[in-house]
């Protein structure tokens, strides 16, 4: 049983030329922490616009992630997030995140 912290945020459009790296706004659109289990769970908030992204951190165990309109996480499928690690991913409008213990 792990905890998964999920932050949904956005990055402003940048006009500083090619190769500019977007930086997250300090005002999060949503944030939640799920206690994971052997059953797939889905987060509460979907990505709304193309400039949004996920910042996700696993704590207390490895987890498997899946992303879709109605995602279902399964062991050995999708993205493995190791205990203590974080990942930042661009979101697809309408998609949510599902998680299961790994």
pLDDT of residue 13: 64
Predicted confidence at residue 24, as pLDDT, reads 77
Q: What is the mean pLDDT of each run of 10 residues along the chain (102 residues)?
A: 94 63 79 96 93 94 98 97 96 96 92
Q: State residue 11's pLDDT score.
A: 80
What Cα–Cα distance (Å) separates residue 72 from each residue in 14, 76, 77, 101? 34, 12, 10, 12
Query: Cα separation of 41 and 101, whole Å?
Result: 10
What pLDDT score does 84 carry? 98
pTM: 0.87
Model pLDDT, residue 22: 66
Other beta carbons within 10 Å of 102: 19
What pLDDT does 18 receive? 60
- Predicted local confidence at residue 19, as pLDDT: 61
pLDDT value of residue 89: 92
């Amino acid at each position: 049983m792990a905890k998964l912290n999920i932050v949904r945020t956005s990055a402003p459009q940048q006009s500083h030329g090619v190769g500019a790296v977007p930086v997250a706004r300090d005002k999060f659109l949503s944030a939640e922490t799920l206690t994971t289990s052997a059953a797939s769970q889905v987060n509460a908030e979907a990505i709304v616009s193309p400039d949004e992204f996920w910042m996700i951190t696993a704590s207390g165990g490895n987890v498997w992630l899946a992303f879709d309109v109605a995602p279902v996480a399964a062991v050995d499928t999708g993205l493995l997030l190791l205990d203590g690690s974080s990942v930042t991913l661009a979101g697809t409008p309408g998609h949510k995140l599902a998680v299961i213990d790994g």
